[in-house]
Structure 1
């Protein structure tokens, strides 16, 4: 096995896997397997209030029914809380992060960009959100599908939350620490996370962590314009339609699956995809209309 490539799929158990999840999972799986790399599975269960009972088991069963096989044990982010706490304490003590007591109402009208109200207030960390100070710098990277992406952290984002006021750790901190801890070399995920990447690059730089390569696949959009997602009650993946939906996902990713594969099994489709995978064929778009994939 090629250990110079380590990829991962990291679903959140706030609902069941849907077709958009399948497209992202398939892209990450084939990108790893095509070069003989490792494919890890991580459950991003950092938000218990939003977790759907039984969703974790359902996600694992669905992946198995679609033929996905991951390497090593499943990692749950809920098992990593001490690691997040240690790094957060380090950043806070170094003055790189600070406590924020701002309410949502106070932040209305600022376009989602934190105005820095608490930056120099010196609030205690207890019962407050923790924000990371960002530099007045532009961060850029070249995505393997979307091309060059750039974002000025100060003007376009502002200091961002790394621990919520309720004590739950934020995605940006956890994903950076977990990718580094698992040795992830290549991150393949949905284009909705493209805007998050510069914040993660900054955290990696701040903590002296290696930057992985990034590949953001187009999001699947429903007829009403919303992305397929758990919050919009997108239908879960049915086990008995695995071959049909895998074939559709291959085509959504621009892979020229021949008509003969229409009667293939899930295992045969994954084998074909592994042999013929070409990331350069993925549409260079942020979104794809689901209706066109049928």
Structure 2
């Protein structure tokens, strides 16, 4: 089949590479417009755009897929199907109708669970033991289209969202190609999603990632892994944000948010068991081990993380 691939971030690259190596004809790429990045805020092409340009593929960067000029350019490429991985924009019906076989999305959950923008993060945060990836035909309703195939992946106890997403991106690339192969030879049939088991995974905001030290330790541990690397879990120390990396729950107790500084590590109290701080990133500095941060900042046991970041009176 003639394909036009739609995707934007790095997680879409395994699928793009797999399509290039497949028996299908990749004739173009759709991605989000160049965006400001870095301290200089200069415009930078998306990872998918950069890879497509390396491959010599035509790249379309519409401000919105409803743009008539974009739709005309897409129609001129004559795609049979448009595979999608993390494109990042809502597709109007007028765009969906251009490809006879539709737009086939690779979504990083076992649908109908975790429909939405952040399925991997929500699966970890909820304590799921298994997740996966699903291919489905895009329809107007969010992530509700009929499904073609699914793969499963065990969530490991130390998985961050970044770790898990990387594995799903690699495994999902094979699923996407297999789905397109089945569409091409007529061997695959779409199945409507079940109404039972629907759950939603909205985007996790920076405020969502703020750590509330009164929450039970095992829930904080999940939250922090779910928010790593983005948007990044955080708390306050002396009124400034400090990013919090993955933590380890231990069988000790401290008041919520209170630090206990030891030679090799730093404990923080939660609503239940304390946690050992992993890597931290103080405001304006590089990531470092918590013990190094404590020594450099001359922290003493009894210091609190949270709203005031001070030492209790």
More helix by share: 1
The answer to whether TM tops 0.5 is no
TM-score if structure 2 supplies the norm length? 0.28
* Larger RCO (CA within 8 A; separation ≥ 6): 1
Q: Highest Rg: 1 or 2?
A: 2
